[in-house]
Amino acid sequence: MKLFLRRLSSLRSTIMPFKQPNRLRKEHAHDLIQNVDNFLFDCDGVIWNWPKPIEGAVEFINKLKALNKKCFFITNNSTKTREMVMELLVKIGILNVTLDDIVCTSWILARYLESINFKDKVYAIGSPAIATELDRANIEHIGIGPNHHEIPDPAKFDYASLVKLDPKVKCVVVGFDHYFNYPKMVVATSYAHKNEDCLFIATNDDAQFPTGTSNIIIPGTGSFVNAMKTAIARNPIILGKPHRTMWEVLEKVHNLKAERSCMVGDRLDTDIAMAANCSLGYSLAVLSGVSDEDLILKYAKSLELGDKNHEEAKCVPDYYAENLGSFEKFIREI
């Protein structure tokens, strides 16, 4: 499959009509079923808080499929290939999923580099999934994996003398990496700083992973991206939501109509803002992940008060529900 992506998908600065979010009721649920052909689901915090599926998620999605709705799975999580996401969806019981239903940032990264005919080497802060997707696209890369065994004491390491840069590297990628550490930061910065020939790409910029009720917070790729942005002193190209790239791929491949599409997600600043950036007909926030009702009401309130911040306006969903199970209950008898 050959995809043509724009060189750099930028946020469309549409003037948003100011709207108030509705807690999903039965009549809204029925309207949505009537008016939407394509449901786009974020995964973490919406379908699962891994390893647990979220209440009603599987039943809801299978119900939509039974109603002949198209269901797509769009995740900013760069630690998974499309196959890995599919395997998880199948494992929890979602029916009739194909690879074409899935868009994840590791895969989009490879498509993006192909679309600009990138022939050099990538230095990647990221996961094995990124390595897999780059390998499949025959794009050379270095950097992925642990390096803290190679540099046993970073405080005694003479970076200026001992780090050797590979002149073939013309792109620094930042995705999620459990092994993110200072030596990796030095190398990535050295490739990209003051070197406009070197691309600087982030898979996504989510600040955290949803962790349910744990008191441990799991920082996301966005925290690495902002570290690297500070050190490199320029902004990366960001592939994930809320940017348009992932939607553009789906829209093109499946010939989707934006006005008959609904984004379903747990993060207002990525999922819900993406719906706005892509002019999708509808957005539904679920409270089973990162964002909570207070945040939705805070954004809505600031609009009411006439605070015309367009970035905040984009974060107000049309509807919100506890979880996908709440939606499923409303349409069970259809």
Feature table: binding site for Mg(2+): 42, 44, 266
Q: How far is CA 204 from the centre of its chain?
A: 6
CB 239 within 8 A of CB 245: yes
Phi then psi for residue 11, to 5 deg, are -65, 135
Q: Does 235 bind a second copy (CB under 8 A)?
A: no
Q: Does 180 bind a second copy (CB under 8 A)?
A: yes
Minimum Å gap between C-beta 225 and a second copy is 8
List binders of a second copy among 183-222 (CB under 8 A).
185-186, 189-190, 193-194, 207-208, 211, 214-220, 222
44 in active site: yes
Binding range to a second copy, per CB under 8 A, among 6-14, 84-92, 176-184, 239-247: 176-184
CB 316 within 8 A of CB 299: yes
Phi then psi for residue 93, to 5 deg, are 110, 15
CA distance 202 to 126: 10
Torsion of CA 13, 16, 22, 25, to 10 degrees: -80
Q: Does 302 bind a second copy (CB under 8 A)?
A: no
Minimum Å gap between C-beta 91 and a second copy is 20
Question: 4 vs 159, which CB is nearer to a second copy?
Answer: 159
Binding range to a second copy, per CB under 8 A, among 23-31, 153-161, 302-310, 311-319: 153-161
Which residue ranges make up the annotated binding site for substrate?
241
Q: Does 242 bind a second copy (CB under 8 A)?
A: no
Binding range to a second copy, per CB under 8 A, among 6-14, 85-93, 227-235, 320-328: 227-235
What angle separates helix 324-331 from helix 57-66, to the nearest 10 degrees? 40
Phi then psi for residue 332, to 5 deg, are -55, -35
Question: 226 vs 279, which CB is nearer to a second copy?
Answer: 226
* Residues in a beta bridge with 264: 41, 284
Q: Does 160 bind a second copy (CB under 8 A)?
A: yes
Instruction: Sort 1 into a burial class: Cβ within 10 Å, 0-12 / 13-18 / 19+.
Output: exposed
Question: 26 vs 234, which CB is nearer to a second copy?
Answer: 234
Question: 202 vs 313, which CB is nearer to a second copy?
Answer: 202
Q: Does 48 bind a second copy (CB under 8 A)?
A: no
For the chain, the C-alpha Rg in angstroms (whole number) is 20
Judged by CB under 8 A, which of 87, 95, 135, 159 binds a second copy?
159
CA distance 124 to 131: 8
Selected catalytic residue, list 42, 205, 269, 318: 42
- DSSP string of 211-245? -TT-S--EE-HHHHHHHHHHHHTSPPEE-STTSSH
120 in active site: no
Q: Provide the annotated active-site residues.
A: 42, 44
Rule CB under 8 A: which residues touch a second copy?
A: 146, 148, 153-155, 157, 159-160, 163, 165, 177-182, 185-186, 189-190, 193-194, 207-208, 211, 214-220, 222-231, 233
